[in-house]
Structures are given as structure tokens and as C-alpha cells.
Amino acid sequence: KGGSLCSRQQGGIFMKYGPLGRSGLIVSRICLGGNSWGAKGNRGWGKFDEVEAPAYFKRALDVGITFFDTADAYNAGRSEEIMGATLVKMTKRENFVLSTKVGIRMSNTENDVGTGRKHLMAAIDEQLRRLQTDYIDVYQVHRLDPHTPIEETMYTLDQIVRSGKVRYIGGSTMPAYKFAQMIMLADWKGYSRPIAMQNLYNLIQREEENEMNRLCHEQGVGLIPYSPLARGFLAGNRSREGGGATERSKNDVQVRAGTYRDCDWEIVERVKKVALGKNASPAQTALAWLLSKPYMGSPIIGATDLDQLSSAAKSTEIALTVDECKLLEEPYQPRLSPVN
């Protein structure tokens, strides 16, 4: 499968590992995301704090997941704080890969936002403090701001890498031409080069195949897409009338039945069909499709149940045929703009 280098049995699961992009950083082929950490009381499915988190991080490590992602803007820094108070203390720092993001507004202070030098230099120290670690493995531009020249951003990121506070850099959702500028400037100036792109990509949201995914494949940048199950829709437990079996399906306004089109529901039916033939779940099958892509690094999953972590880890063992991938992809119709 694309990017797989080795596997290791953990808890009866053969987790796959491979390089992130064209770099020497080895990551588990499944990444656990931190968007829900610290959202307790704010969302029906965001129930995690320092009390609940350790069980999830322990289960993740037990099934071989060693790649964890968060951001400063996730719940106003609480996600990073929870990871620092729990995950970072559970195992040796070199035993896992930690990524976080920067760029979204953190307060009403004028410079507490964006990718300018003042904010980046202040943000990295605050993030290290919250995460209770000396370094971040992958530091990603969450959103580029329209006011800062890319030259300033890339120069500052390179200095942060040279300081030892960050090992690698990456980007998140942005126009492909902007990411191409980041890569070209890094190559021209000898700055640290992006190795990862965190974008919206799944079986029903494939607009990034047009430009960004092609760019990343050609430039050796690994994809670590968010929402690989389309906010849970591809797990196959939703109703056309609305709602479903999970807390998220009942509470997330972005997964209402009206969000999805007939072609999306057809894709779900085909996911269920292929899953049945593989003795797998729909969620595992949707993840296996992503993992079949040659530019894929590690899809970022969320979890509201411990068994979802074990299930996701098992998806790395599933190999889809060319015909099965074609069956899953056939009903797709592009959107005029992605659903975030």
C-alpha cells in the first residue's frame, strides 16, 4: 500500500507504518486527532478532558497508533493542554509523533493570529508550554493569513526548526498555488521544506484531487487528511431522514441529512457492499480506500468510543482491489465548493 514501510503487531493488530512524505519521519498509518479534546460541555460528542483522555491515548498506543495531531485553536488551547497533561506523560517522547497547527486567531489581541513573525515566535513557546514538551514533530500552518508575505512566514518557520523547537513543517487547507509557493520558496532559499498537507479529503469530498493532491504527490508531501469519514457519514450509520446512532450524528449541524446528495448516499451503499465482502465495517473500508492512495500518509480520525480506535487500526490490514476502488469512486460528483 502507498507509503507503507513496515508493520508491527500490537494487541493482535498489525499496524502499518511508513514515511510521512519524502522525509525520514515514520508515522503510523492512522493518526488520532485532537479536535474534541477539551470540548466538554460545548458539543454533544466533545466529552473529553484530563479524566477521559488517558484511556483513549492508552488504547491508541496499545493498537499501534503513534501519530497524534492537534492545534492551538482547538478549544482555545485546551486540546494541547490535555495532550500535554496526559499523552506526553504516558510514554517516552521519542515513542510517538506529535503534530500541531498555528495561524487561527487565539484572542482579540491584534497580533494573536496569522502567520507573521511576531505571532509565530510567541505561539510556538505557548504551544510547547501547553504540550509540556521540548519539541513538536510536525508544525503546520493551519491557515495562511492574507496580510503576511509567504517569505516572512517561511523564514520564521525555518528559524523555529533550526532552533530545535520543531522537527518538520507542513500546511493545512489552502489553495494549491499558495502551498506550491511555500515549497518553491523553501527550495530556493534552502529553508525547511513542508513534508505534510492536512486537507479535507474522503470518498464524498474529493475536490482536492484536482490540484492539491497532485501537487503533493509530485513534490513528495504526505497527506494527513482530516474528516476521512466525512464527519462520520461514511461509517454508514446515518439516516436519510436525519440523525443516526452516534452522539455526533444527533448533535453536529453539519451532518444533517440535507448536507448529503443522492450520489453521496450511493457511495455509502457501495461502501457497505464492499465492506461486507471484506468482513469489515464501512468505516474501515472508507479508511482503506484512503490508504490505497500513493500520496497518502496517515488519515486523521476522531474517536468518541474506545473501540473506534481498534477498528480504525485494523483498517491498515485491509487491501482493496482496483475494481473495488473503482466501484467506490464511480458515483462521485464534484462540489462547487468543499463542505468543511
Catalytic positions? 74
Between the alpha carbon of residue 185 and those of residues 101, 139, 192, the distances in Å are 20, 17, 10
Report which of 250, 257, 264, 242 is spatially closest to residue 333, judged by C-alpha positions.
Answer: 264
304 burial (CB, 10 Å; 0-12 / 13-18 / 19+) is: middle
Q: Quick one: DSSP state of residue 197?
A: E
Between the alpha carbon of residue 298 and those of residues 13, 67, 171, the distances in Å are 17, 8, 14
Q: Note the Cα 319 to chain centre separation in Å.
A: 21
Phi, psi torsion values for 37, nearest 5 degrees: -70, 120
d(CA 66, CA 26): 10
Q: Who's near 314: CB < 8 A, 6+ residues apart?
A: 13, 280, 284
CA angle 280, 286, 44 (to 5 degrees): 100
